[in-house]
Structure formats: C-alpha cells, structure tokens
C-alpha cells in the first residue's frame, strides 16, 4: 500500500522538485514551491522521497541546481520535523556538497553561483542551528566544525541583532537611571536654586536702576571732536557711528565702575550658570518618567516661569548695553563678517569700483580680524579707532599705500608663545619661569642662560606651503537663450574662445579702459601681472607648438603602424580562409540556415549554458590567432624572410 502510493504519488514530488530546480532563476518559483510543500505535507512517504530526491539533486555537478535544491531544503527543513531528522543524518554530506569545505570535493561551476551557494548554505546552517540546534546534535556539530575548526565567517545575523537590541536597552536603562538621579537631586535642590536665582535677579535689577539713573544725567558729548572730518565713505561713516554709539554705551568712569563690574559679573553668572542650569532642569523634567507626575508638572511650570524671567532680565541688561560683553562681541563679529564678504577679490576683479580708503579699511581689518574676533571689545575698539585715525589726517594715500603694501607682503605668523618676546634680542634665563625647583632632582643652576641666537634658532618658523584656491571665473559670454555662459575654464572656453572680463550683459570689457580707472599702485601690480601673463602665454604657445609637432610625428607613426596592421590582418584572414574549412563566416551561415527554432533555443538560457564561459571578442581573436593552422601559416609567413619584411614595410605595394 505504502509502496504503491510512493510509486504513484512519488513521481509527483520528484517531478515537482526537479522542475523547481531546473531553472536559471535566482529563486525557486514560489508556485512550484507551494505545490511541493502541499504535496509533502500530505504524506510522510512523500516527504521521505522528497528528502531522498533533494539529497540526490545536491550531488548534481552544477551549482545552480544545488543552490535551488538548497533553497527547497531550507523551506522544508524549517517546517517538517521528519524532514529535519532525515536530513541531519546526512548533514555532513549536505554541508560538503553545499559549502564545499573538503578540498577534494570543491563546488562545481559556475563559480558565481557557487559562491552564492556557499554563503547561502552558511547562512542557512546558522539559522538552523539557532532554531533547531537544541534538538539536533549534528547541527550543533556541523556549525561548530565550520565555525571553530574551519573558521568560516558566519553572518551572525541573530547574534548581531540581539547584541544591538541589548545595547540599546542598556543605554536606555542607563539614561533613565541618570535622569532619575537628576530628578531626585533637583527635587532636593529646587528651593535653593530658586532662591539663588531670585537673589541674582534682584541684584541685577538694583544695579540697572543705579546705572539708568546715572545715564540720564550724563551728557551725550564727545561727538563734536571729530566733526570736522569729512567722511568719504558711507560705510566708514556707519562704522564710526556704531563705534561711537558703542563708546557711549560702555561709557563708564570711576564713579560707576564698581556698579558696572558687579553688573557684569552678575550678568555673567546669570548667563553661564543660572540660565543653562534652568534649561537643563527643564529638559530633565520633560524627559523623566517618574511616578510623581503632579510634582513634576508643578516644578516644570515653575522652572519655565523662572526661565522666562531670566530671559527678560537678560534682555534688559543687553538693552542697557552695559555689561553685555557678549553682545558687543556679537555685534563686532557680525560687522567683521560683512566686511569679509565684500572684500573677496577674484583674479579679474580689479577692485576698480571701490575707493582706496575703503580698501585700506578692508586690508587693515582683514589683517587684524582674526585677532579681533577672539579678543576683548576694548581691543576691537582700538582697532576701529585706528581705522579712523588716518582718515582724519586728510585722506593722504601715500602712507596708506605703503602700509598696505607692507601688510600685503608681510607673512602671516601663527600665534604662539614666542610672540611674547618678539623682536627682543635678550638672552633668556632658562630656569626662571616661576616653576618650583626646590624638590627637583639634582642641583639647579638658576643663572643658566639661553643665548639670544639660540632662542632665535628655536623660534624659527616652519611654514607649510598651502596652495591657495583660485576661484575660476565663469566665461560669461552671452548665450542664445539670453543667459550667460557659466562654464568655468582657466583660459579658454571651448565655445566662446579665450576668457576675458565681461560686464553683466556679457560684452567684453577692454583691459585698457579698466586699467585707466585703477589707481597707480594697482596699475603697477597689474602691469606685473600682465607681464607674467604674457610670458606665460608665450611659453604656452611654445609648448603648444612643440606638442603639436610631437603629435604630428606620432600620428604619422601611428598611421604607418595602422597600415601595417591592416595589411597583416588581411594576410592572416586570407591565410585562415584558405586553410580552414569552417571559418567563422561559414559557421554563421549554418546558424542562419538552421532557422528560428534553433535560434529560440539558443536564446533561452539553460543550465548548461551557465556552465559555458561567455565568449568575448578577445577570446575569439585569441582563439583565431592561436589556432594551430593559423600559427602554421604565420610560421610559413615568417619563413618568407626578407620578402615579408619588404611587404610589411610597404604594404601598399603588395
């Protein structure tokens, strides 16, 4: 009975499995798979047969078949207990055939599928081991063997996922714990913090009151000292006004100095301490998940109130402009940045539109700005003063130009401690640096001196050459669409010829006119540049010519070679045609004659076709060239000796 059923129905599962595995697709057809599953599920004998068939198929000498078989095996393995118990009996065989770890039994071709088969098998084994390893020693054994003895790399999917999960959970608990402790401390400290903040705010209020009353009584005086100066540039004027305004604000004298100091300190305390701590507490309260929600809400409300109050106080302080060093700095920085943006010069922008004074200002600020940014407002105030000072003297440009020239030339030094004794020629006491040498080992010579030249030697600056980035200007030639050409080429645009400065509409600006507008110093600069450019142009032309000549030579040579090669090929082809009966052309003819039936078969990818190496043109040529008959003919050809040489040298005459 059983046998009969196996005989009758057995064909079905076998046929199904064979059909499923006889394909070139990367996956098993899901419908066939489903059919297999339903058939196998219906009876144990079918399942046995399936296991046997699958193991047989695994022995096929084709990786694609093995791969698909393995996929089917996996599908059944994770579902049926009987299948598992049947399969683990032959697990070593299965692994040998799918992983190919035995040297004498490597995986069959095609290699691409073989490597996929191996990785899949390893992945499956890991999966099986994770889910069924407890029940099957063989699985554990195989896994252990591949992992620990052969040191195969398992994808380790489950373990990785578990680890990540675990890490995340740990992190969460840790943060929760931290939050909770923070919350506890907050609970304990909240009244004292509130008190502290309140006292600070009160003090600030008092200080502000004092200052405001003082300021009202102060005269808005010292503007008129500089009234006689005529400002040429509106920017400068603006700058000056701002500085004046600032000076007005930070105005402090011996009377209110104490008040200002306190105010400054309090403000600082407020900003760096209270505000931040309050923010933090709020964030803690928001994130914490405590049992005591009521307390949390009330505390949150309170803290937000406090924060709002602090912000308003801060605003008040800044408005009064007294102690807010930060505000001054911010303002200054903003101004500086504006300058920076304006004074960027492209290689072809000659700065013709800006006035010399403006340039001075630019340069000056530019050279100092790096320092200014990081230092106290007093310093920057000085700076601005410096800016103003020369302009007071009547706009004489000579001194400026000299200075600017020098500044332009001057190397920029890195900031360092050596700047402390910049330019000094003194010897330096080696052991007098405020360090305690009492408990030092050995005796210390307090009068030890480092000679000045040694110091100079030590302070020699190493500079690293940095290539400065030149912004390549766009071509800007007018296009037919009305836009300007945006190509950025160094010298010559391939569409619009050499790049020349152009105005907004794309019309070329003549160098000479722009030159007229520039001032003298810039002109000289430009002349130098032009001269350099001219030299470079000449050199380029020379090089170009040389290259062209070389190219010519080369092309002539190449043409000669090509001719010779052509000739050779012709000879070879003739020889091959003459000596082989089944040349490529004839073969093609035959193919065509066979008709569309064979064509269709050729087009359909089969398992066998996967085994064939793809024939490239290179292979074909190599084959043709290495064909023994052709070789013979070439040998014969070579034997022709001088005659051949002659012919190769003058292929046209043959």
Partner 1 sequence: MWKEIEAREAGKMRTNSFTNRIKSHRVSTLHLSNHKDIVSPHRASINSLQVDLTEGRYLLSAAADASAAVFDVQRATDYEGNGNIIAKHKSIFAIDKQHEQGHKYAISSAIWYPIDTGLFITGSYDHYIKVWDTNTTQVVMNFKMPGKVYRVAMSSLSTSHMLIAAGTEDVQVRLCDIASGAFAHTLSGHRDGIMSVEWSTSSEWVLMTGGCDGAIRFWDIRRAGCFRVLDQSQTQLGRRPPVLERSVTNKVLMSKSLSASHNLSVKPRALQKKSANGNSMKQTPVGRIPAKGSAKQRLHPGMLSCHDRATAHYGAVTGLKVTEDGMYLLSAGSDSRIRLWDVESGCNTLVNFETVRLQTTKAIQLATTQDSALVFVPCMTTVKAFDVWTGRTSLSFRSHYECVNCCWFSSQDQDLYTGGNDRQILVWSPSRLVSDELGDRFVQDTDNWSD
Question: Which parts of this chain interact with partner 1 (CB under 8 A)?
Answer: 34, 37-38, 41, 78-82, 84, 91-92, 95, 132, 134-138, 140-142, 144-145, 149
Q: Give the residue with the Cβ less far from partner 1, 78 or 282.
A: 78
State the residue for tokens 């996922």. 161
Contacts of 144 (CB under 8 A, 6+ apart): none
Q: How far apart are CA 622 and CA 620, in angstroms?
A: 5
Q: Give the residue with the Cβ less far from partner 1, 134 or 559.
A: 134
Cβ 11 to partner 1 shortest distance, Å = 23
Cβ 133 to partner 1 shortest distance, Å = 8
State the residue for tokens 């070329």. 508
Give residue 85's region: left, alpha or beta (phi > 0; psi -120 to 50): alpha
For strand 449-450 and strand 428-429, is the pairing parallel, antiparallel, or unpaired? antiparallel
Contacts of 98 (CB under 8 A, 6+ apart): 58, 66, 70, 117, 118, 120, 121
Coil, strand, or helix at residue 203?
helix
Cβ 124 to partner 1 shortest distance, Å = 16
Q: Give the residue with the Cβ less far from partner 1, 62 or 84.
A: 84
Q: Cis (ω within 30 of 0) for the bond into 234?
A: no
DSSP label at residue 460? P
Task: Note the Cα 273 to chain centre separation in Å.
Answer: 37
Q: Give the residue with the Cβ less far from partner 1, 35 or 564.
A: 35
Cβ 90 to partner 1 shortest distance, Å = 8
Cβ 569 to partner 1 shortest distance, Å = 57
Cβ 68 to partner 1 shortest distance, Å = 19
Given a contact cutoff of 8 angstroms between Cβ atoms, the answer to whether 303 and 279 are in contact is no
Q: Give the residue with the Cβ less far from partner 1, 138 or 350.
A: 138
Q: Give the residue with the Cβ less far from partner 1, 85 or 552.
A: 85
Cβ 89 to partner 1 shortest distance, Å = 8
Residue 498, beta-bridge partner list: 492
Cα dihedral 43/46/48/50 (nearest 10): -140
Cβ 591 to partner 1 shortest distance, Å = 47
Q: Give the residue with the Cβ less far from partner 1, 102 or 379.
A: 102
Q: How far apart are CA 578 and CA 571, in angstroms?
A: 11
Number of other CB atoms surrounding residue 453 within 10 Å: 10
Q: Give the residue with the Cβ less far from partner 1, 84 or 314.
A: 84
Cβ 153 to partner 1 shortest distance, Å = 18
Given a contact cutoff of 8 angstroms between Cβ atoms, the answer to whether 313 and 204 are in contact is yes
Q: Give the residue with the Cβ less far from partner 1, 136 or 267.
A: 136
Q: How far apart are CA 283 and CA 290, in angstroms?
A: 14
Which helix H or strand E contains 131, and what residues bound it?
helix 111-132
Cβ 121 to partner 1 shortest distance, Å = 14
Coil, strand, or helix at residue 554?
helix
Given a contact cutoff of 8 angstroms between Cβ atoms, the answer to whether 434 and 444 are in contact is no
CB burial of residue 270 (10 Å; 0-12, 13-18, 19+): buried
Q: Give the residue with the Cβ less far from partner 1, 17 or 197.
A: 17
Cβ 9 to partner 1 shortest distance, Å = 18
Q: Give the residue with the Cβ less far from partner 1, 31 or 443.
A: 31
Which two three-digit tokens encode residue 235? Answer: 């920017």
């Amino acid at each position: 009975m059983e046998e009969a059923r196996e005989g009758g129905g057995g064909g079905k599962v076998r046929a199904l499995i064979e059909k499923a595995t006889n394909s070139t697709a990367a996956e098993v057809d899901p419908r066939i798979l489903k059919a297999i599953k339903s058939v196998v599920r219906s009876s144990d004998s079918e399942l046995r047969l399936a296991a046997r068939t699958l193991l047989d198929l695994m022995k096929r000498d084709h990786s694609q078949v093995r791969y698909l078989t393995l996929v089917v095996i996996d599908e059944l393995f994770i579902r049926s207990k009987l299948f598992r118990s049947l399969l683990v009996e032959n697990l070593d065989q299965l692994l040998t055939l799918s992983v190919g770890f035995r040297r004498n039994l490597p995986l069959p071709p095609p290699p691409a599928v073989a490597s996929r088969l191996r990785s899949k098998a390893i992945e499956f084994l890991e999966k099986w081991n994770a889910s069924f390893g407890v029940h099957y020693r063989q699985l554990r054994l195989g896994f252990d063997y591949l992992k620990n003895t052969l040191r195969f790399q398992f994808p380790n999917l489950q373990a990785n996922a578990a680890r990540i999960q675990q890490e995340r959970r740990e992190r969460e608990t840790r943060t929760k714990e931290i939050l909770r402790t923070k919350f506890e401390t907050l609970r304990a400290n909240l009244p004292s913090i509130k008190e502290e903040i309140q006292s600070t705010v009160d003090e600030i209020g008092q200080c502000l009151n004092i200052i405001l009353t003082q300021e009202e009584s102060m005269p808005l005086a010292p503007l008129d000292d500089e009234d006689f100066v005529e400002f040429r540039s509106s920017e400068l004027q603006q700058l000056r006004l701002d500085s004046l305004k600032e000076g007005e604000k930070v105005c402090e004298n011996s009377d209110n100095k104490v008040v200002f100091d306190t105010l400054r300190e309090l403000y600082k305390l407020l900003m760096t301490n209270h505000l931040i701590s309050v923010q933090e507490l709020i964030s803690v309260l928001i994130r914490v998940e405590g049992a005591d929600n009521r307390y949390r809400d009330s505390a949150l409300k309170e803290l937000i109130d406090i924060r709002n109050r602090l912000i308003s106080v801060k605003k008040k302080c800044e408005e009064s402009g007294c102690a807010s060093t930060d505000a001054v700095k911010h303002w200054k920085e903003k101004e500086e940045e504006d300058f920076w943006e304006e004074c960027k010069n492209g290689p072809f922008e000659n700065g013709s539109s800006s006035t010399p004074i403006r340039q001075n200002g630019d340069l000056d600020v530019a050279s100092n700005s790096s320092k200014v940014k990081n230092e106290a407002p007093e310093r920057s105030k000085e700076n601005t003063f410096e800016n103003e000072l020369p302009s007071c003297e009547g706009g004489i440009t000579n001194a400026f130009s000299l200075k600017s020239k020098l500044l332009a030339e001057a190397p920029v030094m890195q900031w360092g401690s050596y700047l402390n004794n910049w330019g000094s020629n003194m010897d330096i006491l080696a052991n007098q640096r405020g360090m305690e040498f009492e408990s030092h080992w050995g005796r210390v010579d307090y009068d030890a001196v480092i000679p000045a030249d040694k110091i100079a030697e030590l302070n020699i600056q190493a500079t690293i050459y940095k290539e400065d980035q030149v912004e390549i200007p766009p071509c800007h030639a007018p296009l037919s669409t009305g836009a300007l050409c945006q190509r950025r080429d160094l010298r010559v645009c391939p569409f619009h010829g050499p790049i020349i400065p152009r105005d907004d509409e794309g019309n070329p600006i003549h160098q000479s006119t722009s030159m007229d507008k520039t001032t003298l110093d810039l002109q000289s600069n430009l002349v130098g540049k032009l001269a350099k450019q001219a030299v470079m142009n000449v050199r380029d032309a020379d090089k170009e010519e040389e290259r062209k000549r070389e190219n010519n030579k080369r092309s002539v040579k190449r043409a000669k070679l090509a001719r010779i090669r052509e000739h050779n090929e012709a000879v070879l082809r003739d020889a091959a045609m003459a000596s082989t009966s089944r040349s490529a052309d004839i073969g093609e003819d035959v193919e065509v004659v066979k008709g569309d039936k064979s064509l269709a078969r050729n087009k359909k990818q089969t398992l066998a076709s996967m085994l064939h190496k793809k024939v490239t043109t290179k292979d074909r040529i190599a084959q043709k060239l290495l064909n023994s008959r052709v070789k013979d003919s070439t040998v014969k050809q070579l034997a022709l000796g001088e005659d051949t040489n002659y012919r190769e040298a003058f292929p046209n005459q043959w």
